[in-house]
Amino acid sequence: MIKAVRGMNDILPDKTPLWQRLESSARVVLLSYGYEEIRLPILEQTALFERSIGETTDIVEKEMYTFTDRNGDSLSLRPEGTAGAVRAVLQHNLHNQAQRLWYMGPMFRRERPQKGRYRQFYQIGAEAFGMPGPDIDAELIVLTRRLWRLLGLRGLRLEINSLGTATTRAQFRHDLVSYFSASAEKLDEDSRRRIQSNPLRILDSKNPELQELIQGAPTFERYVDQESEQHFRQLREILEHNDIEYDVNPRLVRGLDYYGKTVFEWLTTELGAQGAVCGGGRYDGLVEHFGGEPTPAVGFAIGMDRLIELLRETPLNDMARGGNEPHLYLIVGGAKYYGSALRVAESVREAMPQIRLVTHCGSDSFKSQFKRADKSGARIALLLGEDEISQGLITVKHLRISSGQVTVAQSDLAAYLQKEFASL
């Protein structure tokens, strides 16, 4: 038997209602804030991620799915969405005006699969271009809070930090290299490799043996410039004015040079080591890094797989469970009546576009069809047999309540069902 690639999972029909609820909720919230959808390729030039994420990062060195196509070009499955969004904005000259964009879809990293972290994983991302102030940073945080509320999630905790400007980060980076180099023998292999290439990522290490050393490292608040400090203060004021609780975490970093000023994460304690469900921040230097004009930019990425794990434990799971169940199940009295059955079914769908109606196919007995109707979860069974066909009628039987059955004219069926399903 050929099985799915490790870490790339099937999402089966009994699970998809929860995903659909998350996707539709995200669309509603993002559109309500004026964000427009952009759909990005899954494949990009490898150089895009080497230049944006960094050639010496774990993602590029170890985790990307990269191959050479027939033309000799190096292509990679996207490991994240921001680089592709910036590439699209530049390629189509969208960066000359304020833009609020969002996207959704699969990303790929060859990591060790664990709960909430897979090799094919899904993200919802939002990117805002052309707005330099803390107001747009705050809007993204407020937007995510609204999504948590709509989904019924509780207990998510917000952490924020400021990474200053490129100049102050350079001094911070220099001092970090000196600090960790002096204790290099205490570092694990990954951290020793990062000392020169990406020392800020050492601060984000989850290795418990390094935590005491990391706690003694320089913290960024000593390096924050006046402009960044004012930006961060105004952000906090906006959040407090909107009753958003947060913790300032001086260890919260992004290890790439073009990130600056605001960074934030929403965290949970319900998923073990994979506690971050959403991460974001400003990357004012990235558009210029790719050859464009200096353009302020900020965004976030939500880990959909991790949110789904949280949603399984909330009341939303009960609401979403069975969300694909049909409302109606049409039982047919024989193959010679399938034409009439299809016509009846289409008339109902025409009048009620939101209805979910399953028409039985096959030569099963009435008893077997009723069993299938009941097992499907349908609320009502419609029966179309020889007597109904000859008289232009259809029998309606409730499956979830003891109210017997009624017979209505086929021409009146849609009106009857509209009253039964008035909430659709």
- Which residue in 141, 135, 154 sits closest to 316, CA to CA? 154
Q: What pLDDT sits at residue 321?
A: 47
Q: What pLDDT sits at residue 55?
A: 60
Give CA 3 to chain center in angstroms.
Answer: 25
Q: What pLDDT sits at residue 173?
A: 84
Residue 141 carries which side chain, given as an amino acid letter? I
Choice among 80-84, 112-116, 191-195, 342-346 with the minimum mean pLDDT: 112-116
Q: What pLDDT sits at residue 117?
A: 80
Domains in the chain: ranges and CATH: 16-164+224-318 (3.30.930.10), 328-420 (3.40.50.800)
Q: What pLDDT sits at residue 372?
A: 95
pLDDT digits (tens, 9 = 90+) for 73-85: 999 999 999 999 9
Q: What pLDDT sits at residue 422?
A: 87
Question: Cα–Cα distance between 74 and 199 in angstroms, integer?
Answer: 28
pLDDT digits (tens, 9 = 90+) for 295-339: 999 999 999 999 999 998 776 444 444 467 899 999 999 889 999
Mean pLDDT value across the chain: 90
Global pTM value: 0.85
Question: Cα–Cα distance between 357 and 346 in angstroms, integer?
Answer: 9
pLDDT digits (tens, 9 = 90+) for 365-412: 999 999 999 999 999 999 999 999 999 999 999 999 887 899 999 999
Question: Cα–Cα distance between 239 and 80 in angstroms, integer?
Answer: 27
